[in-house]
């Protein structure tokens, strides 16, 4: 317990991190943009009856969540500030922006 308190004291961003969920339905994201802070986690939940593959090639952090079916969610913790264009590799019309503030 003492070590956890020390970690939270020296890394306040961890203590204030938030979880966000973005659904995917009808080959679209549930929001067009999302503003979050460094350390926040975003879950991409697939509510469509087919697979999605969420990724970004944006600087400063790239990721690819791989293909996953309906009913599953995959998450990313954003560790660097910046603007991210999020896309689906299977449905190129699916796009959204995530703005990560320090």
In 3-state terms, what secondary structure has residue 26?
A: coil
Strands 73-77 and 82-88: unpaired
Q: Residue 67 belongs to a domain with what CATH number? A: 2.60.40.420
Q: Which domain holds residue 82?
A: 19-101
Q: How many CB atoms lie within 10 A of CB 71?
A: 10
Does residue 85 lie in a domain region?
A: yes
Does residue 9 lie in a domain region?
A: no
Does residue 53 lie in a domain region?
A: yes
What is the full per-residue pLDDT of the chain (102 aa) written as tens digits?
A: 554 444 445 555 455 899 999 999 999 999 999 999 999 999 999 999 999 999 999 998 999 999 999 999 999 999 999 999 999 999 999 999 999 999
Does residue 52 lie in a domain region?
A: yes
Does residue 8 lie in a domain region?
A: no
- The total of structural domains in the chain comes to 1
Does residue 5 lie in a domain region?
A: no
The residue among 55, 62, 101, 63 whose CA lies nearest residue 82 is 101
């Amino acid at each position: 317990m003492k070590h956890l308190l020390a970690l939270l004291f020296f890394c306040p961003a961890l203590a204030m991190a938030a979880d966000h969920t973005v659904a995917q339905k009808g080959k679209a994201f549930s929001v067009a943009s999302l503003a979050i802070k460094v350390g926040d986690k975003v879950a991409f939940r697939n509510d469509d009856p087919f697979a999605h593959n969420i990724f970004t090639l944006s600087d400063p952090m790239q990721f690819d969540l791989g293909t996953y079916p309906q009913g599953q969610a995959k998450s990313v913790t954003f560790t660097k500030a910046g603007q991210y264009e999020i896309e689906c590799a299977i449905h190129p019309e699916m796009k959204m922006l995530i703005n990560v503030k320090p």
